Structure 1
Amino acid sequence: MNKHISLPTGTASSSPIYDALRKDLVDGRFAAGEKLAINALKEHYQVGLSPLREALNKLAAYGLLIQENQRGFRVPQLSREELDDIARLRKELEGMALEQAIAYGDAVWEADLLAAEHRLKRADMSLDKIDEWEHLHTQFHRTLVAPCGSVWLLRFIEQLHDQFDRYRRLGPTIPAVRQALDEQHHQLVELALSRDAGAARALMEAHIHQSYEVALARYQAHA
């Protein structure tokens, strides 16, 4: 039985200001620990106070902001302990989701997965096109685990990805590292299509660990 479901994007419904703020928080536009000035946000995003506050409240509930009583919103700090915890949970939850996706995925999923990998592989790897690669990278990982059958599992994975990327995107993407990750993406597809769940899970954990090492080096360089 196919259990393909759409992956949540952090909240039940999103808005342009929510999406823009979420991307900027993950990309590191705001410094860790920085207090957000409401008036500056209104001007930068050209948005009214009501939709802005709604987006900020949702992002606080999602974990990308800290809401301080009567004092507005602040960007969470970064720490080695948090990064270690995020990476560990990613390995556990994404490994579980991949095993379930391989068990439930049908021919439509297989075609979607091949297409997602193809788009990612063909993406421009120049630094000025990094946003495109990041988008396609996210879409690939979503497609890989989409048939797992659990909305909550996908929701937790999405949230962990955003928190992990706050560390990974502290520095520019290195083409050689991206090429190595893309090769692992191809291997993950091959293992998924051959329904080798055990080997696919082991590779997924190795894939996450390689990304973790990149994220850790970038965190240490900024600490």
Structure 2
Amino acid sequence: MTVLDSSSATASSQVFEALKRDLIRGQFKAGEKLAISSLKSHYQVGLSPLREALNRLSAYGLLEQVNQRGFRVPAMRLEELDDIANLRSQLECMALTQAFQNGDAEWESLLVAAHHRLRRADEKPEQIEEWEQAHLRFHRALLAACGSSWLLRFIEQLHDQFDRYRRMAPPNPEVRRQLDAQHGELVEYALNRDISGGRALLDDHIRLSHDVARGCCDV
């Protein structure tokens, strides 16, 4: 049960974030129609802020509106995942180029620190959510100096959509080890301002993760 702030605006924002997190984690099944009464009870929120949050999640792409009468979790569609991965590669490589060009010493320090926390999280495989948060922060730090808030906003939305698929796919320890190693290589490319090498590796990183995520459409 999630207890939220009583003010409508704050409660709506809080339930939006809580529901978004649970949708990405796979707490609701693909195709599942959400019961408003159950959501009100689980998130301890009133009808008005809940509906506002559900409408926002529908606009965000993590829910679908059903005949303007309810909401359901989108199905897992392979063609959609392929599209998301392709757009991620294009936009994140664009942001990486700009970040490598604009990044300063503070950005480098934040990136190195984010990678250190991710490495520490790698040492505790049982703490899945800790790793997920460290992983998200690392990728944010990598692109943070790109200078475009709109570009980062689009990337964040695509990353959330992609993670909904990835987290529902069967684990692949061998690929996970490759992806973890690539994080360190991305830091080296960033520190050396090697744009071509960084772009190639980031594209491969996304494609490799994409191959794993495609497994969710086979289960």
TM-score in terms of structure 1 length:
0.89
Residue 26 (structure 2) pairs with residue 32 (structure 1): no
Counterpart residue type for residue 38 of structure 1: I
Match of 2:205 among 204, 207, 211: 207
CA distance in 1, matches of 2:124, 2:183: 19
- Between 1:66-75 and 1:115-124, the stretch displaced more is 66-75
- Between 1:166-175 and 1:59-68, the stretch displaced more is 166-175
Q: Secondary structure at the match of 1:36?
A: coil
Tell me if structure 1 keeps the 8 A contact 2:20–2:62.
yes
Tell me if structure 1 keeps the 8 A contact 2:169–2:212.
no
Q: Secondary structure at the match of 2:127?
A: helix
Residue 212 (structure 2) pairs with residue 185 (structure 1): no
Structure 1 residues 214 and 16, CA gap change in structure 2 (3 angstroms)? same
- The aligned counterpart of 2:77 is 79
CA distance in 2, matches of 1:126, 1:48: 38
Q: Secondary structure at the match of 1:35?
A: coil
- The aligned counterpart of 1:62 is 60
- The aligned counterpart of 1:138 is 136
Q: Secondary structure at the match of 2:130?
A: helix
Report how far residue 176 of structure 1 moved.
3.8
- The aligned counterpart of 2:215 is 217
Q: CA-to-partner distance for each residue in 1:163-208, whole Å, 9 max, x for gaps?
A: 1111101145444433321110000000011000010000000000
Residue 108 (structure 2) pairs with residue 97 (structure 1): no
Tell me if structure 2 keeps the 8 A contact 1:127–1:172.
no
- The aligned counterpart of 1:45 is 43
Counterpart residue type for residue 123 of structure 1: A
Q: Secondary structure at the match of 1:64?
A: coil
CA distance in 2, matches of 1:33, 1:46: 24
Tell me if structure 2 keeps the 8 A contact 1:30–1:75.
yes
- Between 1:202-211 and 1:60-69, the stretch displaced more is 60-69
Report how far residue 147 of structure 1 moved.
0.9
Task: Return 5+ residue gaps in structure 1 as ranges.
Answer: 1-13
Q: Secondary structure at the match of 1:73?
A: strand
CA distance in 2, matches of 1:166, 1:153: 20
- The aligned counterpart of 1:10 is none
Identity of aligned residues (%): 62
Report how far residue 19 of structure 1 moved.
1.1
Q: CA-to-partner distance for each residue in 1:94-152, whole Å, 9 max, x for gaps?
A: 00100100000110000000000000000155554101100110000001001111111
Q: Secondary structure at the match of 1:77?
A: coil
CA distance in 2, matches of 1:87, 1:132: 24
Q: How many residues align?
A: 209
Match of 2:86 among 81, 85, 88: 88
- The aligned counterpart of 2:192 is 194
CA distance in 1, matches of 2:13, 2:198: 35
Task: Return 5+ residue gaps in structure 2 as ranges.
Answer: 1-11
Q: Secondary structure at the match of 2:65?
A: strand
